[in-house]
Amino acid sequence: MDDDVTFAVLGTGGIGRRTLDVARHKDGLTPVAACDRNGVAVDHDGLDVEELLDATEGNIASGPEADGDTPATPTDDYASDGGLASHASETSSEPGSDGGAAAVEGGSVGDGTASDGVKQAGEDAGIVASAQGEPTETPIDDVIAESDAIDAVLLALPNLEHDFIPRVAERFADASYEGVLVDVLKRSRVIGMLDDRADTLESSGITFVCGAGATPGFLTGAAALAAQSFVEVESVEIWWGVGLKSGYEDNRGTVREDIAHLDGYDIERAREMSEAEIEDLIEEHDGRLEFHDMEHADDVLLERAGICDAEDVSVGGVLDVRSDEKPTTTTVRVTGTTFDGERGTNTFELDDATSMEANVNGPALGYLKAAVLRNRAGDYGVYGPAEVMPSF
């Protein structure tokens, strides 16, 4: 059996870059394409990941008008809604995904030549700073054009319009792509949008695993498994800890998004805060922000899998921006009743030593590999992380 998997990454922000990095530690995963807003790199024999990561380190294509606080101008191919409003609900555990914002935080001084607003090298140049990168105005179409030879595509796109990922999936289907799509950023409403397109994706021969990061993703899967002792699940509590000292600068955009989840805050208010106001708020909390009842897609994904009602799922956690130690242990607790009438709570706990990055990107690639096996077996459609056991 041919177990080798070729894959592409759309987006080279935190998650895209780490996906390429983690894949180096996995057997049989060959990255053959990557793109960002302004560039694309394709090599069907396998990208030189080291060169690509070196060239793009601290250097994420932000586009001509991207900005941390105001919407970037949407382009035909790589539209953006400006970041804040789009996925405030899930990035707390995936701060590195926030490629666009991170790039902006990194500074706006390019040392290369911009043509049509595209920086060709250095900061903000993104993938075109790599020897493997080519500038393009249609990065996603460029990857689709190569997709006959690509088994799977990880959509690691920065903050974009709510229906951006569903629309990207549809474009793959329109091109009769037969393969796997996986995304790691998933707000609840997007899942419905993907379900609306399930027939189209299935007809094309696409196996789509949505919400395949840490939460939703890994921890959703753990909840689904832990539920197996029970015939009735009364609650699922997902509680995460993230220590983000060294990653703080790269993740200011995400921290701002998380603030929208605090009592007395919402997306609008968080969006309007100045950097100084955010620093004051963080200072007030001694660097630790604690979140309760976050709007995470785990709820929809567990309900979709028939495990419990969405309202029985709660997600919260603690983000510490002044320490890389986790401020609390990431835990999933599933409480239910067994067929013989006993009530109990099964627990899944991640070691504090496992970073958020390890817990997002390992599972993302695990779900990707599993989806490829299903796709090769002829199993198409839209799946959530509560329905698929990730491969190793």
Q: Which residues are catalytic?
A: 186, 257, 261
Ligand-binding annotation for 11, yes or no, is: yes
Ligand-binding annotation for 254, yes or no, is: yes
- Spatial distance between the Cα atoms of 122 and 80, rounded to a whole number of angstroms: 22
Residue closer to a copy of itself, measured from CB, 86 or 92: 92
- Spatial distance between the Cα atoms of 242 and 289, rounded to a whole number of angstroms: 10
Half-sphere exposure of 174 (CA within 13 A, CB side): 9
The nearest distance, CB 149 to a copy of itself, in angstroms, is 23
Residue closer to a copy of itself, measured from CB, 107 or 306: 306
Instruction: Kindly list the distances between the CA atom of residue 322 and the CA atoms of 120, 287, 290, in Å, as whole numbers in the listed order.
Output: 34, 6, 14
The nearest distance, CB 216 to a copy of itself, in angstroms, is 14
Closest CA to 315 of 300, 336, 337: 300
Residue closer to a copy of itself, measured from CB, 226 or 259: 226
Ligand-binding annotation for 12, yes or no, is: yes
Are the beta carbons of 169 and 206 closer than 8 angstroms? yes
Q: Which residues sit at the interface with a copy of itself, rule CB under 8 A? A: 18, 21-22, 25-27, 218, 221-222, 224-233, 305-307, 338-340, 342-355, 357-359, 361-363, 366, 370, 374, 377-381, 386-392
The nearest distance, CB 335 to a copy of itself, in angstroms, is 8
- Spatial distance between the Cα atoms of 105 and 99, rounded to a whole number of angstroms: 10
Residue closer to a copy of itself, measured from CB, 130 or 355: 355
**Owner of token pair 């991170």:** 102
Closest CA to 60 of 37, 82, 77: 37
Instruction: Determine whether 57 is exposed, middle or buried from the number of CB atoms within 10 Å of its CB (0-12, 13-18, 19+).
Output: exposed
Ligand-binding annotation for 253, yes or no, is: yes
Residue closer to a copy of itself, measured from CB, 84 or 219: 219
The nearest distance, CB 343 to a copy of itself, in angstroms, is 6
- Spatial distance between the Cα atoms of 41 and 136, rounded to a whole number of angstroms: 10
The nearest distance, CB 253 to a copy of itself, in angstroms, is 22
DSSP letter at 80 equals: -
Annotated binding site for NAD(+): 11-15, 253-254
Annotated binding site: 11-15, 253-254
